[in-house]
Amino acid sequence: MKTLIFRTAIILTFLFHFYACTDNASTSEERVFKQIPELQEIKPHKPVKIKLKRNAKGEYSWDLSGNDTDIIIEADKKLQESLKK
């Protein structure tokens, strides 16, 4: 009786092992890594660098630098509004 249980356990182990090792064509296609071009083009935004200057009369001027022109223009508008107050 013990040998019958032992043999059955071994056979079941091999069956599960062989079943797990078989590859279907559909499962191998799902595992293929696909690169998305939109994700490759994403770059981190660099902040706008502001170099603030003050002359002898007490007036301010600044130099702005950065990569995105929209953000530079927005920063310039905010600086102009803050100095008007």
Determine the pLDDT at residue 23: 54
Total-model pTM: 0.45
Contact 35, 19 (CB under 8 A): no
> Each residue of 40-78: pLDDT tens digit?
666 777 889 999 899 999 888 999 999 888 999 999 999
Rounded to an integer, what distance in angstroms lies between the CA atom of residue 77 and that of residue 47?
A: 16
* Whole-number percent of the chain with pLDDT over 70: 67
What are the residues facing 51 on neighbouring strands?
63
* Whole-number percent of the chain with pLDDT over 90: 25
Q: Taking all residues of the chain, what is their mean pLDDT, rounded to a whole number?
A: 78
Query: Does the pLDDT at position 3 exceed 70?
Result: yes
